[in-house]
Structure 1
């Protein structure tokens, strides 16, 4: 959807109107719709000062954030695809614990949401470990990122993109729209599936399983056999088939997401009670997410799901922040050990200091959303959202969301589409989604999944079994 442009005014040909027209055209050229790709000279930084995906290669001044040296790219000996991945840093101990008592001394490196949790729950803390820049991608993704840098541009007021394929579209971003497209088109391993469970915890600390099933995603944008010329505009296909609890077994959701209006979003849902597939346009924006028993919103799924055109996006800049990272240990923990009353168990969650891009989303003129303001934090090495906070119409912090970031050197990648969730700071409820804890399989890379698997007809067959 295009952002509305300000009219140029009356047609009276005067010096004043000429100036106004010139100013309006200048503003239009500076808008996301007219954002040009970077020059070849700028793109050359991806082979020197910057990593191949656009992060700062150097560490910070005191080396508490180390230099990027290529990430983790070797699978552990004997590792088999889809098996739970071991913790690559199992022998390390926390170097710092931050809680309500000492958070003021570390406030500049804490998100508002993390500080709010510390204030609300005195026993909540974060355990900070040595930082490891483990994010990596295959060389062909790096090569495509370099090509994208000089050819990709945003369109449709920033809500669409063209000229990008097979890599980060804007490794040297100029605005918030480009940064968010980097998140949408981040490298997570191409195609995957995994069994998953959704755990919800009520304000009084009672835990239950809200949903369980199998999630399958095809990142068509990262088909190594594809190309920009062959790309049809649909960057991702996703299917969730629910198998638990019994009252929900058989339900299914299918989503097709595109990079522009030329590839319109498709959403279908299979409900057992209706025994038919129907289009589900309401599975978007601020509709309560049924998969999380309504604690989260649909556009909070996977840290960002579906259109975001109700908000305008501003690139605030880069900062150092404590974020969840390299959380393979949490992925292998027992549910009782991880999903505890009020918050995830601090002893199971690993936090590290990393540089992040901060993007602020504010409600666009004439739009409605129950969360009119959000602040996203994107990991500079992978471009994936790790934390984000949301404020209500009264300006009160309401939702704080997270991804624990799984490290998969066998791919190689780090990914934020497993072990993500959110806290409702007003009710005290929270949830953990895409959890494979205590399940035999984990995030499993798949070969190219046929397009026919992601059709409404296939959805009907899956749901009615």
Structure 2
């Protein structure tokens, strides 16, 4: 079933889609000024919709809202909310305009068990004032280069708050606000069509975002790195001691910088094959590496087209998943519907189609990006025969102490043809969940340091 894009709100996008990426970038000061009036500081529409089902943005959910600290288990600040209504296989066609094709396929595959509980929309997304200031500056300075594979003139905020191309939306997603330096523990569960849950990975992750290191800085000291990460695996036993190091820059023209530490060899090696449609061993090969985190790495194999905006039901404010164990969260073929919160939000729609002469197992994708955070909310993929194949539901939670709505890596990924699925980067089994920590020295995120730390 093809899900058409309705309610296109962006102006003249059909014309803009034909303009080369290199010619798109900074907007005029007059257009940037709308970030203080009709748009939020990050570029979303400040007003609600005319039906009143999407409220106006009034600053988000911040520490002043009665926030918790970063330490310890997180809470669900909206636990008292009740669903407005429920979407099931029986009535899904009524709401198909606001659902992705992949989500509609979930209703078809699991008509007896899959359902969507729709809650009141809460526009909880927020960020520090300094990030808003930097976003305003970026709006008139940032531009794409190297056929959209690099960003120049952006630092410390959304690069393109008033986007004119699919590449710009993708860079907004890649550099989205998730904090400055974060530690977390998580698990990746690979689930078979028969309902068996297998622990694919249990790991400790140190994430750091140099793009946001100096809140008041102008980027003059920024070396181009926007994300540094170390994943140290401790389970299952046969993978214990493995580690991954990544250092993503705002220039993918020379690929990504990723290293892998192999415990049996006690050495680290560059891993250029960790990307694109290489099966992701962190997820037991159920998904591809470039499907993690709602989409990572270079888009060089695709043409990206910005289709506009639409209103869509997406998982949002899913803090409840952090208050229960993973076993409580999962059912046989998907997450238990009673544990998942869906809301109506406006999303930017980006279509990725395979470039001539390039290859990828997923020749077409559509990603839906939350207007308030720029993070991917849902991503659908089709096979070479044009049949819907996979869908990925990101599971963002509100972290008011940062403040942020965090879409890091927790998601529910489905192979719609085989029935295999993932509950990825779940944190429900841990007492420390996405903890802000002091900024680490850049030397911590180097291959030499990785060897020293893992060999201890």
Which ranges in structure 1 are unaligned for 5 or more consecutive residues?
1-25
Alignment of 1:61-460 (within 5 A): 61-74=50-63, 79-122=68-111, 123-224=113-214, 226-260=217-251, 265-460=256-451
The Cα of 1:38 is off from its aligned counterpart by 0.3
Distance 1:98 1:208 in 2: 29
1:387, 1:439 → 2: CA distance?
26
Tell whether the 8 Å contact from 2:68 to 2:400 is kept in structure 1 after alignment.
no
> Post-superposition shift, 1:376?
0.3
Separation in structure 1 between the aligned mates of residue 124 and residue 69 of structure 2, nearest angstrom: 20
1:353-374 C-alpha deviation (Å, 9 max, x unpaired):
0000000000011100000100
Q: Which residue of the partner structure matches residue 53 of structure 1?
A: 42
Give the SS at the match of 1:313.
Answer: strand
Cα distance in 2 for partners of 1:30, 1:104 equals 36
CA shift, 1:321, in A, is 0.2
**Cα shift readout 1:14-61 (whole Å, capped 9, x = no counterpart):** xxxxxxxxxxxx999931112141000000000000000000000001
1:154 touches 1:162 (CA, 8 Å); kept in 2?
Answer: yes
**Residues 129-182 of structure 1: per-residue CA shift (max 9 Å, x gap):** 000000000000000000000000001111111000000000000010111110
Distance change >3 Å, CA 102–CA 242, structure 1 → 2: same
TM-score by length of 2: 0.94
Give the total of aligned pairs.
Answer: 440
**CA displacement at 1:67 relative to structure 2:** 0.3
- Which SS does the other structure have where 1:295 is aligned? coil
Counting only pairs closer than 5 Å after superposition, residues 16-55 of structure 1 correspond to structure 2 as 30-55=19-44
1-structure distance, mates of 2:248, 2:67: 36
Q: CA deviation at 1:273?
A: 2.5
Change (3 A) 1:78 1:423: closer
Q: Taking structure 1 as reference, are residues 262 and 425 closer, same or farther at Cα in structure 2, changes over 3 Å only?
A: closer
Cα offset, 1:77, TM superposition: 5.3
- 1:128–1:158 Cα change, 3 Å: same
Q: Mean alpha-carbon deviation: is it higher for 393-402 or for 146-155?
A: 393-402
Aligned to 2:8: none
Q: Deviations over 1:266-314 (max 9, x none)?
A: 1100112222111100110000000000001100111112222111100
Matched position secondary structure for 1:56: coil
The secondary structure found in structure 1 opposite 2:201 is: strand
1:79, CA displacement in angstroms?
3.0
Q: Distance in 2 between matches of 1:356 and 1:185?
A: 17
- Give structure 2 stretches of 5+ with no counterpart: 1-14
Cα pair 2:309 2:347 within 8 Å, conserved: yes
Q: Which of these two proteins has the greater Rg computed from alpha carbons?
A: 1
CA distance in 1, matches of 2:133, 2:62: 17
Please, which of 442, 447, 463 is the counterpart of residue 454 of structure 2?
A: 463
TM-score scaled by length of structure 1: 0.92
- SS for the counterpart of 2:239 is coil
Q: Is the 8 A contact 1:199 1:339 kept in 2?
A: no
| 4+ long deviations beyond 6 Å | 26-29
What displacement does 1:336 show?
1.7
3-state DSSP of counterpart to 1:253: strand
- When the two chains are superposed, the root-mean-square deviation of aligned CA atoms in Å is 1.7
CA deviation vs aligned residue, 1:219-255 (integer Å, no higher than 9, x gap): 0000125432111111111110001111111000001
Q: Tell me the CA shift for residue 415 of structure 1.
A: 1.1
